[in-house]
C-alpha cells in the first residue's frame, strides 16, 4: 500500500469512528432521557441522519450494498416509530 493511500485510509477510518461514536452516543442518550417525547425526537433524528448518510454513501460510491448495510436497518427502525 502506498503511503498516501494509507494516510487517506487512516483519516477515513478516524472520521467513521467519530461518526459512529456520535450516533451511538445520541441513541444511548435517548434511552436515558426520562421525557418520552424528547427521547423519541432524538432517536428519530439520529435514525434519520443514518438513513441520509447511508443513501449518500450508496450514491457516492455507486454501491447499493452500502444502502443495505447502513441505511436500510435505520430506515426500518425509523418506520417502527410511526
Q: What is the dihedral of CA 66, 69, 29, 43, to 10 degrees?
A: 90
pTM: 0.73
76, pLDDT greater than 90: yes
Selected residue with higher pLDDT from 79 and 67: 79
40-56: per-residue pLDDT in tens?
999 898 889 888 888 88
pLDDT bracket for residue 11 (50, 70, 90): low
Q: If DSSP codes are grouped into helix, strand and coil, which group holds residue 13?
A: helix
Average pLDDT (73-79) is 92
Selected residue with higher pLDDT from 56 and 10: 56
pLDDT bracket for residue 8 (50, 70, 90): low
Report in angstroms the alpha-carbon separations of 59 from 8, 19, 33. Answer: 20, 18, 35
Amino acid at each position: 500500500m502506498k503511503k498516501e493511500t494509507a494516510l487517506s485510509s487512516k483519516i477515513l477510518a478516524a472520521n467513521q469512528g467519530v461518526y459512529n461514536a456520535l450516533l451511538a452516543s445520541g441513541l444511548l442518550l435517548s434511552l436515558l432521557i426520562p421525557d418520552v417525547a424528547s427521547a423519541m425526537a432524538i432517536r428519530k433524528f439520529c435514525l434519520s441522519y443514518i438513513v441520509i448518510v447511508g443513501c449518500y454513501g450508496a450514491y457516492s460510491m455507486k454501491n447499493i450494498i452500502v444502502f443495505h448495510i447502513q441505511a436500510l436497518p435505520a430506515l426500518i427502525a425509523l418506520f417502527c416509530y410511526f
